[in-house]
Amino acid sequence: MTAVLVINGPNLGRLGSREPDVYGSTSYAGLVERCTALGKELGLEVEVRETNDEGELIRWLHEAADGRIPVVLNPGAFTHYSYGMRDAAAQRTAPLIEVHISNPYTREEFRHTSVVAGVASGTVAGFGIGSYELALRALAEGLTSG
């Protein structure tokens, strides 16, 4: 099985209770369950992680780069300003797909900028938790250029 890291940034551990009108009612545990179950169906060994710590997220991206591990990344608020995270993502050695539960372009203007998009293989946004599923399917089907 191909290993895949699903990395989540700040506040994503609060899914289900945090602004359900924006992020839906699926809990973080539900997200983990859906990603790992779909991963098994697709022949992927999915490990889902969440952190509110920018340094930890960067270390996980380094780990993925060193291990040539594909990544599904929801940077949360780090999307808009973390150049350290962007530089770590740029070191990728396997596909990296940026995901967002909501569509950032329909929200506040500061959310319209992603510092990671330019170094990602692709971006999936606006499909709720389904954004993760679409990203995992893209990885499994080799739809990314690496």
Tell whether residue 17 is among the known ligand binding residues: no
> Is residue 29, in this structure, part of any structural domain at all?
yes
Distance between CA 94 and CA 77 in Å, rounded? 23
Say if 146 falls within a structural domain. no
pLDDT (tens digit, 9 = 90+) per residue, 78-102? 888 899 999 999 999 999 999 999 8
Is 136 domain-assigned? yes
Question: Dihedral of CA 34/131/6/109: which sign?
Answer: negative
Q: Read off the CATH number of the domain in which 49 is found.
A: 3.40.50.9100
pLDDT score of 94? 97
Residue-wise pLDDT for 104-130, tens only, equals: 776 678 666 899 999 999 999 999 999
- 127 located within any domain: yes
Q: What is the pLDDT of residue 102?
A: 83
The torsion angles phi and psi of 128, rounded to 5 degrees, stand at 60, -145
Distances (CA, A) of 112 to 6, 8, 10: 22, 19, 18
Catalytic residue among 23, 28, 83, 112: 23
Q: Is the pLDDT of residue 14 over 90?
A: no
Question: Does residue 107 form part of some domain?
Answer: yes
Ligand-binding site membership of 102 (annotated): yes
CA 51 to chain centre: 12
pLDDT digits (tens, 9 = 90+) for 15-43: 666 665 655 567 889 999 999 999 999 99
**62, 81, 100, 112: the active-site residue:** 100
In a domain, 105, yes or no: yes
Those residues with Cβ within 8 angstroms of residue 3's Cβ, 6 or more apart along the chain or in another chain: 44, 45, 47, 67, 69, 70
Which domain, by its residues, includes 10? 2-140
Number of structural domains (the chain) is: 1
105-119 residues labelled b (16+ CB within 10 A) or e (exposed): eeeeeebeebbbbeb
145 within some domain? no
As a whole number, mean pLDDT of residues 69-83 equals 92
Asked whether residue 112 is marked as a ligand-binding residue, the answer is no
Q: Is 121 annotated as a binding residue?
A: no
Whether 23 is catalytic is yes
Evaluate whether residue 25 is within a structural domain: yes
